[in-house]
Amino acid sequence: MNSDVPQPPHSPPPSPWAPPASSAEPPHPPASPATAWQGGHGGQGGQGWDRPPEWSRPPTGPERAPSGSRYDEQGRNGRGGRFGWLGELSAVVALVVAGIMIVSIGGFVVAELLDAGPADADSDLFFEDPVADLVVQLLGIAIAIPVVLWGARVIGRRPAGTVSSVVGRLRWGWLARCAAVGFPLMVLQIGLLIAWTWNDEPVGESGTGFPGWPVFLLSLAVILALVPFQAAAEEYVFRGWLVQVIGRVARTPWPAVAVASLLFALAHGFGELSGFLLLLYSALWWGWLVIRTGGLEAVIVMHVANNLLAFGLAAGFGELASTETAADAPWQAMIAELVFAPLYCLTVARIADRRGIERVSP
């Protein structure tokens, strides 16, 4: 071979930084040995061996139900915890009962220390003074509000505000509009009931009469300060949290509404049949209204209005020490409720439609 024939030059080895000849994606820079095992395949976005992959990490914090969920479906966020809805139900009921017992025992201890207990040893009251006794009773119920909100947030792992409404908070503007309808209707209903039953039972047989202005004003102050929380607590428990817990397993809201309404009526004790039917009937309407308006505002208003007027009249007639409840309501009250419960609920539902009040979660 002629050595003078020019030979093609030897090509240098390709540089690792040179672009490829094809149009494929250029290679990534090589990873250092220190990071090769931490980043998976040499800096190509692998999750590595020192931590679990992103997709395997459970979500933290409260999580809402999917968009478009009804009020009773707010607990369906897939975060029920190890024991599911039964765990939440058991824990919250136990804590509510414990809270009531703590307040009751506290009231009893204070009454004993102050020697202010009732003269009758068989009395169901904590204090001889009916105003002090009313404070204990109202606080014992109001304590349920923080308990159910805690249960929804910690055990149900959802925003506590979803117990108030589908938007995750109490809608104060909507509540005020409901109050503009509910309070006048409740005044009319109770006024008609008083006129209807005025001669059935003289005041002297069930109360002591007007207690005097100092006691009456003190009673009103306690009623105005605590009754809204007591009434709202019953709504948060029965029309709110309980409906949402049962709603985690029921396909429609009506089984939850029916069960919660029955328990609400039974929780007031056993009195007259007319009183039980009144409570059950009104509870069913109010349960429907909660689903229809997507929140508790409308029923809180009606419950607060009813209890403020009832306790206020009891204070004026000296009947705060009476152990009667709504379960002892006469048949006239039941007949009045047949008219006024649907009147209020249908009116408020119509207003909610016109105002565009959210029925489902955004």
pLDDT, one tens digit per residue, over 25-80 is 445 555 444 444 444 444 444 444 555 555 545 556 789 999 999 999 999 988 76
pLDDT at 266: 97
Contacts of 25 (CB under 8 A, 6+ apart): none
**Is 45 inside a domain boundary?**
no
pTM: 0.82
pLDDT at 231: 98
Residue 71 Cα distances to 19, 104, 121, 174, angstroms = 59, 33, 46, 16
pLDDT at 66: 95
pLDDT at 110: 95
- Give yes or no for residue 236 having a pLDDT over 70: yes
* Total residues found in the chain within this entry: 362
pLDDT at 215: 95
- Long-range contacts of the stretch 138-142 (C-beta < 8 A, 24+): 138/222, 138/226, 138/227, 138/229, 138/230, 139/103, 139/226, 140/99, 140/100, 140/103, 140/104, 140/107, 141/100, 141/230, 141/233, 141/234, 142/226, 142/229, 142/230, 142/232, 142/233
Give the domain extent around 310: 71-355
**Is 243 inside a domain boundary?**
yes
**Is 53 inside a domain boundary?**
no
Share of the chain above pLDDT 90, in %: 71
Question: What burial class does residue 107 get, using C-beta atoms within 10 Å of its C-beta: 0-12 exposed, 13-18 middle, 19+ buried?
Answer: buried
- Give yes or no for residue 24 having a pLDDT over 90: no
79-88, 286-295, 336-345: segment of lowest average pLDDT: 79-88
If one compares 148 and 205, the residue with the highest pLDDT of the two is 148
**130-140 average pLDDT score:** 96
pLDDT at 16: 47
pLDDT at 123: 81
**250-266 average pLDDT score:** 97
pLDDT at 21: 52
Per-residue pLDDT reduced to its tens digit, 308-332: 999 999 999 999 988 889 999 999 9
**Is 24 inside a domain boundary?**
no
pLDDT at 205: 54
Helix (H, G, I), strand (E, B) or coil at 295: strand
**9-33 average pLDDT score:** 49
Contact 281, 340 (CB under 8 A): no
What tokens were used for 272? 């007259």
- Give yes or no for residue 132 having a pLDDT over 80: yes
The span from the CA of 125 to the CA of 51, in Å, is 61
**255-272 average pLDDT score:** 96
**226-249 average pLDDT score:** 97
pLDDT at 84: 80
Tally the domains of the chain.
1
- Give yes or no for residue 19 having a pLDDT over 70: no
Please state the separation of Cα 44 from the chain's center in Å: 48
Average pLDDT over all residues of the chain: 86
**Is 17 inside a domain boundary?**
no
**Is 47 inside a domain boundary?**
no
Share of the chain above pLDDT 70, in %: 80
**Is 139 inside a domain boundary?**
yes
Contacts of 89 (CB under 8 A, 6+ apart): 245
**Is 231 inside a domain boundary?**
yes
pLDDT at 35: 44
